């Protein structure tokens, strides 16, 4: 990450040397765009902070339903309305598997967590439009379900 910052600073310095006016104009445009997206981004960060407060026991309770398919549906829904970075989601998936949750349910949870963006809907809607955002999220929800079913078949949890 530090290397990326260094490259950015070097690029700005080179741009400043080449054309000061364009550099200031570009930085001003970038700042305006950043300030435009900042409220939605802060809202997402606040929601993520609340989601991270949810304990793993809460998630385990809802993922261990009577049947594997009800657990999968619960996992798809919880994963869709939750948002967390991959460096938290993948270790959580390992914890869930160690607690005895079927691979199919864990696959549904993690794939919907990464693919479906209910929390990011306001930002997506602003940039992609409402129709495209809804279609993308619905498609991602079904893809996450298909991933879960294929995982269940692969691990012998679902018999065709």
pLDDT tens by residue, the chain, 160 residues: 788 889 999 999 999 999 999 999 999 999 998 888 888 777 767 766 666 666 666 767 777 767 888 889 988 998 888 877 787 788 888 888 888 889 999 999 999 999 998 888 888 888 889 999 999 999 999 999 999 999 999 999 888 7
Cα separation, 122 vs 118, whole angstroms: 9
Inter-axis angle of helices 121-128 and 130-154, nearest 10: 120
Domain ranges of the chain: 1-53, 55-160
């Amino acid at each position: 990450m530090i290397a990326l910052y260094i490259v950015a600073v070097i690029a700005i310095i080179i741009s400043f040397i080449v054309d000061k006016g364009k550099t200031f104009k570009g930085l001003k445009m970038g700042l305006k765009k950043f300030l435009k997206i900042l409220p939605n981004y802060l809202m997402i960060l606040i929601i993520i902070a609340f989601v991270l407060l949810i304990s793993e026991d809460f998630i385990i309770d809802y993922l261990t339903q009577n049947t594997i398919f009800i657990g999968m549906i619960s996992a798809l829904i919880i994963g869709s309305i939750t948002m967390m970075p991959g460096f938290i989601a993948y270790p959580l998936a390992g914890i869930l598997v160690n607690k005895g949750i079927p691979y199919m349910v864990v696959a549904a949870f993690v794939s919907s967590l990464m693919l479906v963006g209910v929390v990011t809907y306001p930002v997506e809607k602003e940039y992609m439009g409402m129709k495209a955002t809804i279609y993308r999220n619905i498609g991602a929800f079904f893809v996450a379900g298909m991933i879960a079913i294929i995982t269940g078949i692969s691990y012998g949890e679902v018999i065709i």
